[in-house]
Amino acid sequence: MNKWIGVSLLACAASAWATQTITFQVNMSVQEALGNFVPGSDNVVVRGSFNGWGGTDPTLSPIGDGVYSGTYDLDDALIGETVTYKFVNAATSGDVWESIEDRSFVVGDTGAQTVDGGYFDNLDTVPALLDAEITFLVNMEIMIDNGSFVPASDLIVIRGNNDGIGNWGGAVALNEVGGNPGHYFLQVQFDQVSAETPVEYKFVILTDGDENLARWESVANRTAQPTEAWPDEDQNGYHEYVTEEAFFDNVTWDDILSQNVDVTFNVDLNMVDTWFTEHPGETNQGITGWDAINYVAICGPWNNWPWDLVPPQYQFANAGGTLFSGTVTFTSGSARSITYKYGINGSDNESGFQADWVTVIDDTNPTFTINNEFGSLGDLWGTTAVNPASQPRTFELGEAYPNPFNPSTVIEFSLVRPAVVELTVFNMMGQAVATLASGMHQAGNHTTSFDAAGLSSGVYFYTLKANGMSETRKVLLVK
């Protein structure tokens, strides 16, 4: 078919339907049999990339035999796009998400489409059940040492996918081990839990004991799988298990900063500027235009994700053109690895759910610089900083241009497949002086810039690491 005819047909289909009505379906009968879902008081909702992974729209209604169904209208601009989602048991005791990988479907162009998810959590039979007693252990010494946890006023609680630990919105507190400050435990008896579905959980710090001031671990959900193989040493009918003591957020003594480091974040809003240039008068993610941007916020688990209530020290001002910049001090004892996301005017509007930046701070110097491109981890602001003109066939780090340079130069790199990337600049002493790219990047050709205005003349090396491979090149700064 002629490509122009194909485009015309697609346009006609889109204009004919205006929106695509998606009918979501899921079977909750097994969850009901397990006592995890109570019809009439609990609800089933769908959350995904199409609704910001939040809210209660759509809420599904029973249509018989344990099946729940509901509809949601998607804009026809999403035709051909892949949507990811999960079903959520919005129980009265707290939300319980499916523990499986994200579900997905491709939006069709017929005007109506049914997405049948089968069984909630893909559990289609009632599994063997048993009584289990789990002792949860967590080491809070580092969090105490760096001031993130104050035992006298804060609480360390557990949240997870079971009523016994308050589900994902509870506040079941752990207790300090007697005679062993900084070490906490909680023993919980679980009645009739699945021998096939793990107990998932995370530890959470409640500042001043306030459930609204929660600092979650940023690691993947921890798990404990009940099994008949666990002993019943107390002979009380409960199979017993003691978890390995975990450091909060998996931050060990080897993973913390040895000194205070002032980290300068440079975030380029070029994608945002381009979007508003190409869509004059339109609104995206609640932003009405470039002139409506007051500041760019940075949020992460280390500052409790303070969306919409961002303190001034995490609000970055415009530094010229499309660049916004700010400096945050990470204190000695804090984690080297930081997870974060930017947001225009303090809202979570850079990228989708869990599309976060991850960078490891180099603490050999008291200063560290990170350069990111706003929106490049998602598609909320259009295409990412990937050049699709020619799909690369090899992993490659390009020569900087110009080279020698003053004060800035452009560096290109290519990825054959999506990868977690670290593009770092080092001086002759092997000290990191700038991070030009970090976190997950799409396959394709990428471009970034190295601004050395604050550095001395000399030779610098830039190294790209991705997918277990590494390549280094040299540049010369001449002032």
222 and 360 share a domain?
no
Number of domains in the chain: 3
Residue 2: pLDDT over 50:
no
Please identify, among 221, 252, 283, the residue that sits at the C-terminal boundary of a domain: 252
**The pair of three-digit structure tokens given for residue 209, joined into one six-digit string:** 């004991």
269 and 227 share a domain?
no
237 and 306 share a domain?
no
Among 68-72, 79-83, 341-345, the least confident range: 79-83
Of residues 314 and 479, more confidence is placed in 314
Q: Which domain holds residue 169?
A: 129-252
Instruction: Report the alpha-carbon distance of residue 134 to residue 112 in Å, rounded.
Output: 47
At position 341, the amino acid (one-letter code) is: K
Instruction: Report the alpha-carbon distance of residue 478 to residue 149 in Å, rounded.
Output: 47
- CATH assignment at residue 421: 2.60.40.1930
Q: Tens digit of pLDDT for each residue in 383-414?
A: 444 444 444 556 788 888 888 988 888 888 88
Among 92-101, 156-165, 353-362, the least confident range: 353-362
Q: Tens digit of pLDDT for each residue in 115-149?
A: 999 999 999 998 889 999 999 999 999 999 888 89
The answer to whether residues 61 and 68 touch, using CB atoms and an 8 Å cutoff, is yes
Please identify, among 252, 283, 298, the residue that sits at the C-terminal boundary of a domain: 252
57 and 144 share a domain?
no
The answer to whether residues 371 and 268 touch, using CB atoms and an 8 Å cutoff, is yes
83 and 166 share a domain?
no
- CATH assignment at residue 233: 2.60.40.10
pLDDT of the residue at 35: 84
What is the number of other CB atoms lying within 10 angstroms of the CB of residue 214? 18
Instruction: Report the alpha-carbon distance of residue 58 to residue 47 in Å, rounded.
Output: 8
Which residues, other chains included, contact 215 with Cβ-Cβ below 8 Å and sequence gap of 6+?
Answer: 148, 204, 205, 207, 301, 304
Mean pLDDT over all residues of the chain? Answer: 87
pLDDT of the residue at 418: 67
Among 93-107, 137-151, 377-391, 450-464, the least confident range: 377-391
Residue 337: pLDDT over 60:
yes
Confidence label for 360 from pLDDT (cuts 50, 70 and 90) = confident
Residue 11: pLDDT over 50:
no
282 and 182 share a domain?
no
Instruction: Report the alpha-carbon distance of residue 379 to residue 369 in Å, rounded.
Output: 25
Residue 151: pLDDT over 70:
yes
pLDDT of the residue at 4: 38
Mean pLDDT, to the nearest integer, of 264-280?
A: 93
Confidence label for 453 from pLDDT (cuts 50, 70 and 90) = confident
Residue 182: pLDDT over 90:
yes
Please identify, among 230, 252, 274, the residue that sits at the C-terminal boundary of a domain: 252
pLDDT of the residue at 43: 95
Mean pLDDT, to the nearest integer, of 369-382?
A: 83
306 and 168 share a domain?
no
**The pair of three-digit structure tokens given for residue 347, joined into one six-digit string:** 């809202």
Local structure of residue 314 (DSSP, 8 states): G
188 and 316 share a domain?
no
pTM of the model: 0.55
Reduced to 3 states (helix: H, G, I; strand: E, B; else coil), residue 319 is coil
At position 315, the amino acid (one-letter code) is: Q
pLDDT of the residue at 416: 72
Confidence label for 3 from pLDDT (cuts 50, 70 and 90) = very low
317 and 452 share a domain?
yes
89 and 8 share a domain?
yes
Instruction: Report the alpha-carbon distance of residue 369 to residue 352 in Å, rounded.
Output: 25
Residue 187: pLDDT over 50:
yes
